[in-house]
């Protein structure tokens, strides 16, 4: 890989070198490295572009890294990755996509990820999106994530998109069986004329299942964001969705947290708040010696931390 590709890899996966454990690095549409381990097997799909990741039951404290780097202007790809996580696993999956586009053609990566999470398994999934490059070509990312949780499983998802992605539409769906838990933390910042749409459809199908979908976002300049999250309670369950946003400049945000109760014992809550940075927060940090711009950065960094 060249220096640009290496730097992007650092941005999206915090990887300075080849990660420990299993990994698959995709760079400009090609495999740039892969390793399976005793318990984690990575194989290429034969019908479409993408990989199958099979994690043996009972695998604990192991990780899979599957970063994607696009550095060729004009490259557009759709990749299908399926994860089969065996019963009673406890694993970390780190995905992420970085686009460097210096050219005039749009670069686009659409990743379709499906997670089949076995009974009692615990998965932590971290996904980071990043774009850079000063060409006129746009950097586009449209991830689709589908999660199917067996009883008593836990999935924690952390999705981050802080810089440089011109347009993104993220669609996440989840179906939860009894006793399973889904926690989503999404952090998003848009600037310039960027556009970001985030859709969640969570079905709490089993008794005792629960979901907590939390979005924190900042829309600066003339960017636009939509947060559309619906939790359906189809059994006795707990669901909570929250959208907390800061708008700046001419940024715009549409927040639509939605609940659908199809069972009388479904307990569902939603919250949404949008506002600019409070003047008193700026004043406080300025009395500590920061300029107004530095104070804004501190407040946003904290908010998105």
Partner 1 sequence: MLELRNIRYGVDGEAGRVDILNDVSFTVPEGKFVVITGPNGGGKSTIAKIIAGVYVPTGGTIRFDGEDVTALSITERARRGISYALQQPVKFKGIQVIDLLRIAAGRQLSVAESCDCLSRVGLCARDYINREVNASLSGGELKRIEIATILARSTRLSVFDEPEAGIDLWSFQSLIRVFQDMRASIAGSSILVISHQERILEIADEIIVVAEGRIERQGPREDVLPALIGTASAITGCDRLTGRS
Interface residues with partner 1 (CB under 8 A) are 216, 244, 278, 280-281, 283-292, 298-299, 301-305
Residue listed under structure tokens 């220096």: 3
CB of 185 to partner 1, least distance (A): 12
Cβ proximity to partner 1, 213 vs 299, nearer residue: 299
Cβ proximity to partner 1, 30 vs 287, nearer residue: 287
CB of 290 to partner 1, least distance (A): 6
With beta carbons less than 8 A apart as the criterion, state whether 145 and 110 touch: no
CB of 161 to partner 1, least distance (A): 17
CB of 282 to partner 1, least distance (A): 9
CA–CA dist 17, 142 (Å, integer): 27
Please report which residue ranges of the chain form alpha helices under DSSP H. Answer: 3-13, 279-287, 292-303
Cβ proximity to partner 1, 20 vs 292, nearer residue: 292
Which of 192, 200, 146 lies closest to 169 in space, CA to CA?
200
Residues with Cβ within 8 Å of residue 131, at least 6 apart in sequence: 98, 99, 100, 101, 139, 141, 163, 164, 165, 166
Cβ proximity to partner 1, 19 vs 257, nearer residue: 257
Cβ proximity to partner 1, 136 vs 283, nearer residue: 283
Q: Which two tokens stand for residue 84?
A: 């089969």
Residues in the chain: 305
CA–CA dist 116, 16 (Å, integer): 30
CB of 160 to partner 1, least distance (A): 14
Strand positions, DSSP E, 164-261: 167-176, 181-190, 195-204, 209-219, 224-233, 237-247, 252-261
CA–CA dist 120, 259 (Å, integer): 26
CB neighbour class for 215 (10 Å; exposed up to 12, middle 13-18, buried from 19): buried
Cβ proximity to partner 1, 45 vs 284, nearer residue: 284
Cβ proximity to partner 1, 171 vs 277, nearer residue: 277
CB of 242 to partner 1, least distance (A): 12
CB of 219 to partner 1, least distance (A): 16
Q: Which two tokens stand for residue 231?
A: 């939790």
């Amino acid at each position: 890989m060249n220096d640009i590709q290496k730097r992007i890899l650092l941005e999206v996966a915090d990887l300075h070198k080849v990660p420990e454990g299993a990994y698959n690095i995709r760079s400009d549409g090609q495999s740039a490295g892969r390793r399976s381990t005793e318990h984690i097997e990575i194989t290429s799909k034969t019908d479409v572009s993408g990989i199958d990741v099979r994690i043996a039951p009972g695998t604990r404290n192991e990780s899979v890294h599957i970063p994607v780097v696009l550095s060729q202007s004009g490259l557009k790809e759709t990749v299908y990755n399926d994860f089969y996580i065996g019963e009673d696993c406890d694993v970390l999956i780190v995905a992420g996509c970085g686009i460097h586009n210096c050219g005039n053609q749009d670069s686009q990566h659409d990743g379709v990820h499906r997670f089949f999470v076995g009974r009692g398994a615990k998965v932590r999934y971290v996904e980071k999106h990043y774009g850079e490059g000063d060409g006129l070509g746009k950097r586009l990312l449209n991830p689709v994530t589908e999660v199917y949780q067996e009883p008593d499983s836990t999935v924690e998802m952390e999705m981050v998109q802080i810089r440089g992605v011109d347009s993104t539409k993220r669609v996440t769906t989840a179906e939860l069986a009894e006793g399973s838990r889904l926690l989503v933390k999404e952090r998003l910042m848009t600037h310039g004329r960027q556009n970001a749409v985030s859709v969640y459809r969570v079905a709490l199908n089993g008794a005792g299942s629960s979901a907590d979908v939390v979005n924190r976002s900042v829309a600066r300049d003339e960017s636009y964001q939509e947060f559309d999250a619906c939790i359906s309670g189809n059994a006795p369950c707990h669901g909570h969705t929250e959208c907390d946003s800061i708008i700046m400049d001419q940024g715009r945000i549409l927040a639509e947290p939605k609940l659908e109760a199809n069972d009388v014992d479904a307990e569902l809550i939603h919250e949404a708040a949008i506002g600019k940075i409070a003047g008193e927060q700026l004043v406080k940090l300025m009395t500590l010696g920061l300029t107004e711009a530095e104070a804004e950065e501190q407040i946003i960094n904290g908010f998105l931390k």
